[in-house]
Amino acid sequence: MQKKPILALEHISKNFPGVKALDDVSFSLRAGEVHALLGENGAGKSTLIKIMTGIYRQDIGRILLNGEEIHLHSSAHAQRYGIAAIYQEPMVFPDLNVAENIFIGHTDQGLVVNWGGMYKKAEEILSTLGVSLDVRSQTRGLTLAAQQMVEIAKAISQDVRVLIMDEPTASLSAHEVEQLFALVRVLRDKGVAILFISHRMEEIFQIADHVTIFRDGKRISSYAIEEVQQERLIQDMVGRELEAMFVRDFRAHGDQVLSVRHLSKEGVFDDITFDLHEGEILGFAGLVGARRTDVGLALFGIEPADGGEILLRGKPVHIQSPAHALELKIAYVTEDRRQLGLSLSMSVIANLSLPQLGKYLNLLGLIRRKHEIETAERYRQQLNIRTPSLWQEAGKLSGGNQQKVVLSKWLNTDPQVLILDEPTRGIDVGAKAEVHQIINDLAGKGIAIILISSDLPEVMGMSDRILVMREGRQMGIFKRAGTSREQIISAAMGMAEGEAGA
């Protein structure tokens, strides 16, 4: 506590359309400390990092470096102040060698690159870090861990004073994590301030000196690590206010529609087993990297599974392509609307009928536009899609209305299984409530729904049962009734108390 803060954020707020990403956040980092940042997805951690590295600008608030206010324009600008970030996926140039990567972006080398000097300096930096890497080897082919070392060396070469590490351990093996932590300690002892983000609780207790918890864009609490217990941190992450206004009429379920047995995909997910009934909503909860989406992709045939069984109404099926999944009446509303869900340059009408064009043909095999327009008009009214015209390009609609178009598009395929991947991400509160209402009504009509969501209140409020995943493994299936948010979070973070029956 004695040390003076290097980097201080004061009363930072940042708004995105419809979302308050950061709300009056004050936060500081001291030299020679490892400060862990904890929070659920969407708590505001990423936004905070982006503001600290100059990628976003705060709406309100000040950033102080050694007590002086700075205005960051870009990440290159932030690097000049000694603020650097490394991510889960290292951003190296694969065709350049280690030394070139370390010194990329340095302009103080004169007209000609001094290769000998560069290699020597690169070796020096790596040796102070206790890393043995051939500075002349290409970075392509290095392990992720080694690439991260290169990135850290790059930060050192730029006299880093604040190093932000955003889930650096997510893709590393246990041994590599140990190596990384050794390096983090070296940096800390050199007086670098380190902001460390991880979803693995045990790592935070292993490496961090302080921990700060974020929730809903606010800083909730900060502790010195030796003064705090896991349970306390989880409570702070989850918050106390309980699921308030989720419309969900719980009814008895119908027949079993889908039965998934020991579904696996090498290196992605393993041994996923669940049943799904008509009118049931099965939530998929988990943190970033839990591989929930990959299970969805497998069920829709985009990235087919390579082990286990899928039974549809009791019959085994091998879903190999989206076209095949469509035939089986499985629909998948993707997480990424813009990249995967919609053709932005096409009209609302054309987007809606795309998976079902075969149903709109007349005897000559031509599209009956009138029929198409009728469908679009029906969904516009039923889902309350707000657009000046159905001929409007989908790209011009707001996020919430785009989401409704995507939903309509898949509802129009008359699915028996509907997979919804983050259906309310990035849409405003009003549209969110509407989408929840729609999901509820769909379940009421007997559609079996898989709801993948990082929004914990949403999963808990909407689902009958919740399947929790962590790093590709199924941690358990929890009944909605009698399960607390703490239990779900604990399971998602891989802590012992997450054991529960299916």
Partner 1 sequence: MTTAAPTLGQPTRLSRSRGLASRFLVFATSQEFVLLLVVVLLFAVVGNTNPRYLAERNVLNIFNGNAYIAVAAVGMTMVIISRNIDISVGSLIGVLGTVSGSLAINGYPIWSSWLVPILLGGVVGAVIGFMVAYLRIPSIVVTLGLLSILKGGLITVTNGAWITDMPDTYFLAQMRTPEISLLGINIPAIPSPIVIMIVLTLLAALWMRYSPTGRAIYAVGGNAEAARLSGISEKRIIMTVFIINGLCVGIAAVLWATQLSIIQSTVPAGLELQVITSAVVGGVSIMGGVGTTIGAMLAAILLSAINSALVFINVSPYWFRAVVGVLILITVLTDLLRRRRTQA
Binding site for partner 1 (CB under 8 A): 300, 302, 321-323, 326, 332, 334, 339-346, 350, 354-355, 357-358, 360-361, 365-367, 369, 378-386, 388-393, 395-396, 408-409, 411-412, 414-415, 434, 437-438, 441-442, 444-445
Beta bridge partners of 15: 20
Residue 220 CB, nearest approach to partner 1 (Å): 34
CB of 211 or CB of 439, closer to partner 1: 439
CB of 185 or CB of 378, closer to partner 1: 378
Residue 393 CB, nearest approach to partner 1 (Å): 6
What is the rounded CA–CA span in Å between residue 306 and residue 297? 12
Phi first, then psi: give them for residue 218, nearest 5 degrees: -120, 150
Contacts of 80 by beta carbon, 8 Å cutoff, 6+ apart: 158
Determine the length of the chain: 502
Nearest CA to 238 among 45, 41, 421? 41
CB of 179 or CB of 437, closer to partner 1: 437
Residue 34 CB, nearest approach to partner 1 (Å): 39
CB of 31 or CB of 447, closer to partner 1: 447
Contacts of 188 by beta carbon, 8 Å cutoff, 6+ apart: 32, 33, 34, 194
Residue 399 CB, nearest approach to partner 1 (Å): 12
What is the rounded CA–CA span in Å between residue 233 and residue 238? 9
CB of 185 or CB of 370, closer to partner 1: 370
Residue 367 CB, nearest approach to partner 1 (Å): 5
Residue 6 CB, nearest approach to partner 1 (Å): 37
Residue-by-residue DSSP string for 226-291: GG--HHHHHHHHH-SPPP-----------SEEEEEEEEEETTTEEEEEEEEETT-EEEEE--TTS-
- Decide if 434 contacts 415 (C-beta within 8 A): no
Helix/strand/coil (H, E, C) string of 321-373? CHHHHHHCCEEEECCCHHHHHCCCCCEHHHHHHHHHHHHHECCCCCECHHHHH
Amino acid at 163: L
What is the number of other CB atoms lying within 10 angstroms of the CB of residue 114? 11
CB of 409 or CB of 485, closer to partner 1: 409
CB of 341 or CB of 457, closer to partner 1: 341
Residue 53 CB, nearest approach to partner 1 (Å): 24
CB of 271 or CB of 414, closer to partner 1: 414
- Decide if 34 contacts 208 (C-beta within 8 A): yes
Contacts of 458 by beta carbon, 8 Å cutoff, 6+ apart: 246, 424, 436, 451
Residue 161: C-alpha distances to residues 274, 296, 326, 441 (Å): 48, 42, 53, 53
- Decide if 292 contacts 332 (C-beta within 8 A): no
SS3 state of residue 214: strand
What is the rounded CA–CA span in Å between residue 455 and residue 422? 8
CB of 380 or CB of 432, closer to partner 1: 380
Residue 481 CB, nearest approach to partner 1 (Å): 25
What is the rounded CA–CA span in Å between residue 482 and residue 501? 12
Residue 110 CB, nearest approach to partner 1 (Å): 38
CB of 104 or CB of 361, closer to partner 1: 361
Residue 354 CB, nearest approach to partner 1 (Å): 4
